[in-house]
Amino acid sequence: MTRSGLASSAPPSHRRIALVLGGGGMKGFAHIGVMKALEERGIVPTRYAGTSIGALLAAARLGGYTPDQLAARAESLKRRDLFRINHFGMIMERMRSPSIYLEEPLRDLCRAVVPAGTFADLPLPLLVNTVDLERGSPVIWGSPGLQNVYVQDAVYASCALPGYFPPGKVGERVCVDGGVIDNLPVAIGALDADLVIAVDVGSTDLRPIQDAASLGFANIYMRAATTMMHALQQFPLTNWQGPPMVLIRPRCSEDWLSFTNIAATIQEGHRAAHKALEDIDAFYDQPGGVYPRRRFEIEVDRDRCIGCGLCAALAPSMMGLDAQGKAYTRTRTADWSPADGEFVHHCPTHAIIARKVERIVPLKAGERGAA
């Protein structure tokens, strides 16, 4: 038993619950609010998986930090505690400099909150998602055969966003941020799990922005990276074949690097988690799927539709083109999880309208009637 009350055994129901925490820079502090909500509901994960800040906070939790302690630590952080320009490297090495920011501040943060020792020393399984830079392939530290390395090294590498921080050496491999390939490692986290609770903070609420070219190269890069990560992780979510998944998507700000809204970000994670977990008892007994689910009415504004066909290409089961080349809906209603309905936001003229109708609560085992 650790000082936080974490035990190495499964919860009383013997259900195996995987908590998967995605990357997202400072937006990842929403994970703290999620962990607080889980604690309040008595939900105890039996394994953790994470990318970048998700890996950092998962490791800190397993190291004994409570959500309140993590919140206090996060709210005390200043920009200089993490981001210090690598002036010498930028001047002397120029294009050969490995990063914009120095390695040591991020290393210090990992040493401060991540437990020392190897993955085998942790009280519960932890999977840390990285990418082997030399091989161009994912490496999930903490998996069988990949446990005899230092957790702090793996977490640093998982946080080492290419170009921002230098790559990290884990064992004999040179690794970078796992978000390069998989920002929300639900597939590996779901192995041997009865339920997955996944928290996506990296690509949610990708709202249009104004005058993107004036943001500066760092923010332009992060905007492009966010778009790429969102597209990469949509496939495993919309084609999910694993155990039931509760997908939590806090509505955080777009700025990955902002330290000004940490308390509000934590609170938003707490709010979003409580909302998503309202019907969790019904999710356990489902054969699969992504939850929570909501019923939407879908329609097309024909005056706005330009007939580009993007919606029909992205969602052929939901959308089609009529004889006049205008989009139409194949069904007026749909029961969507947070991972569904992506094509609506991609319409270039906002001609597709989706209205939330009601919350869908799945039947629990032994119940009868329509959901």
The three-point CA angle 289-291-294 to 5° equals 115
Q: Which residues pair with 130 in a beta bridge?
A: 139, 177
Beta bridge partners of 139: 130
Q: Which residue has the tokens 């039996």?
A: 46
Which contiguous run of DSSP H or E holds residue 106? helix 104-113
Q: How far apart are CA 154 and CA 158, in angstroms?
A: 6
Active-site position among 4, 99, 153, 177:
177
Residue 268, SS3 per DSSP: helix
**Rounded Cα distance, 103 and 164, in Å:** 9
Candidate list 52, 99, 158, 337, residue with the active-site label: 52
Give yes or no: 137 in active site.
Answer: no
Map residue 234 onto helix, strand or coil. Answer: helix
Nearest to 229 by CA among 179, 175, 186, 188: 179
CB atoms within 10 A of CB 255: 15
52 classed as catalytic? yes
Which sequence positions are flagged as catalytic? 52, 177
